[in-house]
């Protein structure tokens, strides 16, 4: 009775009472002479012939056996008399031997030594006879191992150990018998028919909890099946408290046959999690082989797979014929479809899948679903469609996920004018609420020569124009500098896609004033005051602290009067400085303060008092006619992705689109002679603008800029799989 044997890595509601009740009723039915078309195979029918190993086998030799065969679930072990003495589970063995200290300790040891120190490695919940029925074995197994910690059991025949039987294989075999089982149950009493009605509820125990709480992510999953057993599937797991794998799939059709494939997918994902697999394209390739060998092309399964690095925000994703996932970028107010194609699972025995990469900011939202949402029709045959779905996702961008899900399902009900759906419906939605950190990593506060990284990697203008795809994804974006021979604004959109955030002009005179060596090594500093570091001997200096938004007008007037008193060599630039001050302070007052989802806390231009602990400081220095303006806030919410996107949109002529904004950042760059931004996420942003007061403003020349973004691990940004 497969609905009572749905198993996974998490605790489940397993109705052993119902299993025993069913078996008893079957015996009564048979005693009355009624024909019952339901057979259960024996363990021997499913056992896998595996040559046992002996206690004198090397510990590392066993590790090599498991690593070279991903399908090898367990190894029986014989003692010196060639009698069974235990079984080594793949999961338990790899958990121990993938630790560096264990490999060193047992490098030259055999299994006998391991047995003396780790007897639990050789244990099994029970030993099964090849003639036993798998349903009876499963009942006994689940009583002894309710959390399913063992993936295989030793099988004993007349001649001794004949191999192992996988728990997943027994589960799948019972799944394949489910059709006959349901027909049998319909011949039995009303109480067994009630168990059929509960099949969908029991199948949900195969899935992870609906409330999603993962490192850096929070969300909700909702599944509505259209029959007793559904064909939709979702799963998720975390690896090393950093990477999060998300899977959403859909079997062609629904009901008993589709439920069989869902069971196969779940069993396979359990092994993938045990192997700490995080690459989406590899996950789909391995699942494809499992589905092919389970369904033999009679049924196919679509699936969207993604992995999120919650320390850096990198998202890798691959697709096996499923609907594209959606990514709502909170700071941009934009909904992106993660478009990538691929063959459905089970179409061919071996299929390779492509993989793409994007970036997720704190406050962004991921939305995955199954096709029934867009395919549900009303009485006139009109589908709900992608336009309605996308409009709803955008209109609910500021809503919590529970409200979004409820309103989406209600919209489907209103569209179809019925409370049931023709196909299974699944909605999976998560918000990226925070960056995770490695609590065991303590970054140095002072960079000494032995801790410094190598010199920065320079990309020359002419080389990039000839080879625009030549930037290696392995280079840390903090270390990468684009060196332009001429105006380079036309390249900003392309360079931004590669994550390049440091762009300097070769011949701009300000580079000599600030010092080439200083500019090129800005990535090595983690300074609280870049202005003081870049202008070390100013002739003039002013500092202002904000306590209220109304301080802005007063401070700008103070700065303007101060500059006029200094008899600057080029007083025409004072108007430009006043304009820059206005834009910089506006960003500090209204763009920087954001909540956990990246939404602005204050409307632009509103009157507000700075909160307790909130810092907004303006510094100005003049050294040899070079004016430096620095604004420091205590928020740290600006990201390279947002900054580069703003510049790119304006370069492409898209900057004035309604709802996009970002003109301030673009103008600050355009009107400065050099712009530097340094961000410690959730801690501090410092914007430094430099204006050469000795020279007139040149609005036709591009200016150099550098965005230094310091995460706990210096944020590796990869834009290809490797």
* Per-residue confidence (pLDDT) for residue 238, from 0 to 100: 94
The pLDDT of 530-551, averaged and rounded, is: 93
Contact 331, 313 (CB under 8 A): no
Q: What is the DSSP letter of 9?
A: S
Q: What is the pLDDT of residues 451-475, one digit of tens each?
A: 344 468 888 888 888 888 767 766 7
| Segment among 86-90, 97-101, 224-228, 597-601 with least mean pLDDT | 224-228
Q: Where are the beta strands (DSSP E) in 557-700?
A: 616-623, 626-633, 674-680, 684-692
Predicted confidence band at 626 (pLDDT cuts at 50, 70, 90)? very high
Closest CA to 359 of 498, 205, 213: 498
* Per-residue confidence (pLDDT) for residue 27, from 0 to 100: 46
Q: What is the pLDDT of residues 499-508, one digit of tens each?
A: 899 999 988 8
* Per-residue confidence (pLDDT) for residue 352, from 0 to 100: 93
Q: What is the pLDDT of residues 245-281, one digit of tens each?
A: 999 999 886 666 777 788 788 888 988 998 999 999 9
* Per-residue confidence (pLDDT) for residue 338, from 0 to 100: 95
Q: Which residues neighbour 261 within 8 Å (Cβ) at sequence distance 6 or greater?
A: 231, 251, 291, 294, 295, 299, 301, 346
- What mean pLDDT value characterizes the chain? 82
* Per-residue confidence (pLDDT) for residue 182, from 0 to 100: 62
Number of Cβ atoms within 10 Å of the Cβ of 635? 20
Distance (Å, whole) CA 692 – CA 677: 18
Q: Which residues neighbour 249 within 8 Å (Cβ) at sequence distance 6 or greater?
A: 232, 233, 234, 265, 301, 302, 303, 304, 320, 322, 345
The pLDDT of 160-174, averaged and rounded, is: 84
* Per-residue confidence (pLDDT) for residue 198, from 0 to 100: 55
| Segment among 29-33, 210-214, 385-389 with least mean pLDDT | 29-33
* Per-residue confidence (pLDDT) for residue 279, from 0 to 100: 95
Q: What is the pLDDT of residues 556-570, one digit of tens each?
A: 999 999 999 988 878
Q: What angle do CA 568, 573, 579 make, to 5 degrees?
A: 130
Q: Which residues neighbour 393 within 8 Å (Cβ) at sequence distance 6 or greater?
A: 326, 328, 335, 367, 404
The pairing of strands 152-157 and 128-129 is parallel
Contact 655, 646 (CB under 8 A): yes
Which residue would you say has higher pLDDT here, 374 or 658? 374
Contact 556, 578 (CB under 8 A): yes
Contact 207, 274 (CB under 8 A): no
* Per-residue confidence (pLDDT) for residue 200, from 0 to 100: 54
Burial class (CB in 10 A: 0-12, 13-18, 19+), 68: exposed
pTM of the model: 0.46
The pairing of strands 704-709 and 674-680 is parallel
Secondary-structure breakdown of the chain: helix, strand, coil percentages, each rounded to the nearest 5: 35, 25, 40
Quick one: what percent of the chain has pLDDT higher than 70?
Answer: 83
The dihedrals phi and psi of 528, each to the nearest 5 degrees, come to: -85, -10
Distance (Å, whole) CA 624 – CA 136: 89
Distance (Å, whole) CA 578 – CA 73: 70
Predicted confidence band at 22 (pLDDT cuts at 50, 70, 90)? very low
Distance (Å, whole) CA 503 – CA 29: 81
CA distances from 651 to 194, 241, 515, 666, 668 (A): 65, 39, 28, 9, 14
* Per-residue confidence (pLDDT) for residue 481, from 0 to 100: 92
Closest CA to 166 of 148, 147, 152: 152
The pLDDT of 210-222, averaged and rounded, is: 93
Which residue would you say has higher pLDDT here, 339 or 103? 339
- In three-state form (DSSP H/G/I as H, E/B as E, the rest C), the secondary structure along 275-342 is CCCCCHHHHHHHHHHHHHHHHCCCCCEEEEEEEEECCCCEEEEEEECCCCEEEEECCCCEEEEECCCC
Q: Which of 132-136, 201-205, 543-547, 706-710 has the highest mean pLDDT?
A: 543-547
Predicted confidence band at 94 (pLDDT cuts at 50, 70, 90)? confident
* Per-residue confidence (pLDDT) for residue 442, from 0 to 100: 36
Residue 227 has pLDDT above 70, yes or no: no
Distance (Å, whole) CA 179 – CA 260: 10
Predicted confidence band at 437 (pLDDT cuts at 50, 70, 90)? low
Distance (Å, whole) CA 664 – CA 643: 11
Distance (Å, whole) CA 471 – CA 499: 10
The pLDDT of 135-146, averaged and rounded, is: 84
């Amino acid at each position: 009775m497969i609905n009572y044997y749905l198993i996974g890595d998490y605790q489940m509601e397993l109705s052993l009472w119902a299993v025993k009740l069913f078996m008893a009723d079957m015996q009564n039915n048979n005693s009355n002479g009624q024909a019952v078309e339901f057979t259960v195979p024996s363990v021997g029918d499913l056992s896998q012939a595996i040559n046992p190993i002996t206690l004198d086998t090397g510990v590392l030799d066993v590790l090599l056996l498991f690593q070279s065969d991903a399908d090898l679930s367990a190894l029986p072990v014989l003692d010196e008399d060639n009698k069974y003495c235990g079984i080594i589970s793949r999961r338990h063995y790899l958990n121990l031997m993938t630790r560096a200290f264990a490999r060193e300790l047992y490098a030259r040891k055999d299994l006998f030594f391991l047995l003396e120190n780790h007897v639990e490695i050789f244990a099994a919940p029970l030993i099964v006879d090849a003639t036993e029925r798998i349903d009876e074995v499963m009942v006994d197994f689940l009583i002894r191992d309710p959390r399913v910690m063992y993936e295989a059991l030793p099988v004993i025949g007349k001649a001794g150990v004949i191999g192992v039987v996988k728990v997943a294989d027994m589960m799948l075999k019972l799944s394949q018998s489910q059709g006959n089982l349901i027909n049998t149950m319909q011949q039995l009493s009303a109480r067994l028919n009630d168990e059929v009605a509960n099949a969908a509820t029991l199948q949900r125990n195969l899935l992870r909890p609906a409330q999603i709480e993962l490192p850096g992510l929070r969300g909700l999953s909702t599944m509505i099946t259209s029959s007793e057993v559904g064909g939709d599937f979702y799963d998720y797991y975390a690896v090393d408290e950093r990477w999060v794998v998300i899977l959403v799939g859909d079997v062609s059709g629904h009901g008993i046959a589709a439920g069989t494939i869902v069971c196969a997918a779940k069993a396979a994902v359990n092994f993938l999690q045990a192997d700490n697999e995080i690459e989406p394209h590899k996950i789909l390739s391995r699942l494809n082989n499992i589905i092919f060998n389970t369904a033999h092309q009679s049924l196919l399964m679509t699936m969207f797979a993604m992995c999120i690095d919650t320390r850096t925000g990198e998202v890798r994703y691959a697709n096996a014929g499923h609907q594209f996932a959606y990514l709502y970028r909170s700071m941009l107010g934009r909904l992106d479809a993660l478009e990538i194609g691929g063959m459905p699972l089970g179409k061919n025995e071996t299929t390779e899948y492509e993989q793409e990469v994007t970036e997720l900011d704190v406050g962004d939202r991921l939305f995955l679903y199954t096709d029934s949402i867009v395919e549900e029709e009303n009485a006139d045959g009109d589908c709900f469609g992608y336009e309605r779905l996308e409009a709803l996702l955008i209109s609910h961008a500021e809503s919590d996920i529970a409200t979004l899900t409820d309103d989406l399902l209600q919209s489907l009900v209103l569209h179809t004018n019925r409370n049931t759906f023709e196909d299974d419906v699944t909605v999976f939605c998560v918000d990226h609420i925070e960056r995770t950190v490695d609590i065991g990593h303590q970054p140095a506060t002072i960079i000494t020569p032995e801790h410094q990284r190598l010199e920065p990697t320079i990309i020359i203008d002419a080389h990039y124009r000839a080879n625009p795809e030549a930037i290696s994804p392995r280079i840390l974006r903090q270390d990468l500098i684009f060196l332009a021979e001429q105006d380079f604004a036309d390249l900003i959109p392309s360079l931004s896609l590669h994550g390049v955030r440091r762009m300097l002009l070769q011949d701009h005179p300000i580079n000599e004033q600030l010092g080439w060596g200083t500019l090129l090594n800005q990535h090595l500093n983690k300074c609280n005051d870049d202005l003081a570091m870049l202008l070390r001997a100013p002739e003039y200096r002013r500092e202002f602290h904000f306590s209220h938004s109304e301080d802005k007008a007063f401070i700008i007037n103070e700065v303007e009067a101060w500059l006029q008193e200094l008899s600057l060599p080029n007083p025409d630039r004072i108007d430009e400085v006043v304009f820059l001050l206005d834009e910089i302070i506006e960003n500090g007052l209204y763009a920087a303060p954001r909540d956990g989802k990246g939404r602005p806390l204050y409307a632009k231009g509103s009157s507000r008092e700075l909160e307790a602990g909130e810092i907004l400081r303006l510094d100005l220095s003049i050294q040899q006619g070079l004016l430096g303006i620095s604004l420091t806030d205590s928020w740290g919410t600006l990201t390279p992705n947002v900054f580069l996107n703003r510049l790119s949109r304006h370069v492409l002529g898209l900057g004035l689109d309604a709802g996009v904004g970002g003109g301030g950042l673009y103008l600050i760059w355009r009107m400065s002679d050099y712009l530097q931004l340094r961000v410690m996420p959730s801690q501090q942003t410092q914007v430094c603008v430099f204006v050469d007061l000795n020279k007139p403003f040149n609005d036709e020349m591009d200016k150099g800029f550098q965005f230094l973004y310091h995460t706990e691990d210096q944020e590796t940004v990869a834009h290809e799989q490797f």
